[in-house]
Every structure is written in C-alpha cells, then in structure tokens.
Amino acid sequence: MTTPLRLGIAGLGTVGVGIVRIVQKHGDLLAIRAGRPVEIVAVSARSKTKDRGIDLSGYLWEDDPVTLAKRADIDVFIEVMGGHEGPAKDATEAAIATGKDVVSANKALLAIHGQALAEAAEAAGHVIRFEAAVAGGIPVVKSLTEGLAGNDITRVMGVMNGSCNYILTRMQDAGLSYAAVFDEANALGYLEADPELDVGGIDAGHKLALLAAIAFGTQVDFASVELEGIGAVSIDDIHQAADMGYRIKLLGVAQMTGRGLEQRMSPCLVPDTSPLGQLQGGTNMVVLEGDAVGQIVLRGPGAGEGPTASAIMGDVMDIARGTRLSTFGQPAKTLRKARAARAAVPAPYYLRLQLLDKPGALAKVAHALGEAGISIDRMRQYDHSDTTAPVLIVTHKTTRTALDEALADFKGTGVVTGTPVAIRIEAV
C-alpha cells in the first residue's frame, strides 16, 4: 500500500513536538516499516506564533482542535492536549463521528470516558489506541492486549508516577523531608500545574484503571480506585522501613478477588531487593502476572518528550500496517461492570504510632490489635522524648477492614497521640 497515512496532531506541547520530530527525522524509516508513508497534514495548538524549536511551516494550522478532528484530509487524529473534559473530549468525539482513528496520550479522558468512547469508536469501525497514556515509553498496553492475550491475568501492579518515585527515592538518598523534596521537585518542573494530580495518586490512578480494564475484561472504573497519596510519608517512615529491609513506593495494584475487583493506588512497602524496591528516580515499572507466563517486569521512562512520542508513534505504526484491535483488548460491549472490592486480599501492614510514655501503653495497643484479630510480627520502640515514644509495628497478614477497626479502637486507649500511619506491605 502506497497511500500515505495522514495525521492531524492536536496539542504541540512537549509530546506533540516529540511526534513531529520523529516523523521529520525518521520519515523514510517509518515508510519502510509501515509499508506506506506516514505524514503530518495539519496541527492545532493554543498559540500559532510560539517558538517550539521545530519547523511547522509544511503543515496546515487549525486554531480549533474540533475543526482539526473533522478535516476530511486526515486519517488519524492524535490527541495530546490533556484534560478529561472540554476541547480534548469534544475533539475526540468529533474525530470518531467523522470517521477517524484516534491515538491518545490522555489518561484522564480515557479513565473517565473510556467506555463510552470505545463503544462509539468500535460501532463506527474505528480504533482508539492509547499506549502513551500509561507509563510513557513502556509498551504495557501492547503487552496486555497482544503478548499476554493467552493468559488469565492475576495481578497488575507497578510504580506509574515518576514524580512520586523521584520524591520518595530522593528523601531516602538525601535524608530530606517530604516538604523539602516536594519544593525541589516543583522547582525542577517535575510536578503537574496541580501537584495533587501527582502526589495525591490521581495521575497514577488513571493509569491503573486503564490497565485493570484490559487485564480483567471490565469496564474502566476510575471512581472505584482507592487513592492515597504520599503526603503523609515522613522521613522517619523512610528510615524505619529501610531498617527492616523495605522501601516505600507509591504502588498501584489491581487484582480480581472473590469479593470483586480491587484497585488501589497507595504508598506500600516493598522488599528493597525486589525490582520495585530497586527502582530509582523518575523511572516507571509495571509488573504483570498471568497464569501461563508467570511474572514479567517492564521498566522504562514514564514520561518526557521522546518516550511518550515513541509510544504514540508505535500506535500510529500499528494503524498504518492495518492492525485493528478493540480499545481495551476485547469488544467494548463485552466488558462487564465489576463489583468494587476494598483491599480484599490480606497483607501485613507497617504501623507507626506515637505513644504516651506510660506503663502498660504497649499492652493496650496490642490488646486493641488482638480484639480486631490482628497479630504482631515485629515491634520496635525508638528513642523517645520525656512524654512520648515512637513505636513501629509490623503485623501478620490482615485485612484493611480489620486494621481500620483497630485504628479506630486506638483512640479509646488513651495512650496513642496524633494520627497513626498505616502502610501496606506488598509481596512482590
């Protein structure tokens, strides 16, 4: 086939510019690999006059991304604007309605509206591809939909936000507080304009919801993802976890249980010798487990111009070659609604408590745990002030429901001050 695949790009920020660079630099290579030329026809962004360091003179310009999406001379609409409402949603819907395939890096849009968009695209005979929306340059969507299609997936987990991983590893390596490293990361431009999207786990939660839909054949359900950010993690937690052979990561976990689909994005302890424990800086890692393959680990850059544009172009090349896949790995109308389960699988937990320095304080805490059916694996008491003592407890496996019961009972003991910290310990 020699007919060119014609692209329209909405959004010329870091990722959009990266796509243009790849097409301009590797045009001949793309044509050889796809069996047809791949060309950019038109682009759209907020400012036409901004200097982006690339030559855009050969492309038609549209001020309105919806108008771009409707153009009759493009085959694939590439959406790299971001946002789950407004222009991104309107333009994506317009592209589907006017006969375009869509390639998107927009995790928020797909995590919230993915089911409706997938049904609309598939009913019209078109595809939505979104490799770039999850873990940047790591081909995790392709791994689930293609390479592992013969597996019953049992668990998906990973570190999917490089900014949070940078903060946590920087705290450990430099011995700095969360507040100090947060300010450093913000100054370096590592955080979103609304930092809560990163440190609150929202960005990573969007990605987890998309992977869970593919892995378990369910409708994407971001609203059911349990979210807990890293703001409560202290340098003491970092050091004390290290003393016990663990590192703290913002970890996403999705698994189907007898009670329903468990999806959570929260700080967890992982063994420091595990692949996740060894993950440094802004790198992402996704662990996939299937009944036939066992466990595989995918590691790579989770963001940035080159990695994300690379993922976009991987999807574009599949379309150019004629590869047609359902958005979430199976027809959208066959995806079932999953019952949400809150941390149903038992696990050990790390607890940090501040106890009043009174006789019998530890006994009262142990009694509250015992009443909730929780047994203690390890316990340490650190240097204390004249009135309080920090105590670290690692429990045997328990449910989050039982743990919440114990945490509530701590308030009635009269010996626990402040708010206890509870962090799940994940087997890797």
Catalytic machinery residues: 207
Q: From 374, 397, 419, 428, select the one nearest 233 (Cα to Cα).
A: 419
Q: How far apart are CA 76 and CA 129, in angstroms?
A: 10
**Pairwise CA distance, residues 139 & 120, whole Å:** 25
CA distance 277 to 292: 25
CA dihedral 285, 203, 351, 367 (to 10 degrees): -120
Inter-CA distances, 271 with 15, 147, 166, 267, 346, Å = 34, 28, 18, 13, 17
d(CA 156, CA 253) in angstroms, rounded, equals 6
Phi first, then psi: give them for residue 122, nearest 5 degrees.
Answer: -70, -35
- Reduced to 3 states (helix: H, G, I; strand: E, B; else coil), residue 162 is helix
> What are the tokens at 295?
């466990």
Q: Are strands 260-271 and 294-301 parallel, antiparallel or unpaired?
A: unpaired
**Tokens (6 digits) for 416:** 């626990």
Whole-Å CA distances, 91 to 44, 72, 96, 172, 391: 11, 14, 9, 43, 54
Cβ-based neighbours of 202, under 8 Å, separated by 6 or more: 196, 227
Q: DSSP characters for 150-161?
A: TS-EEEEEEE--
**Any idea what the Cα angle at residue 57 is, between residues 43 and 90, rounded to 5°?**
10
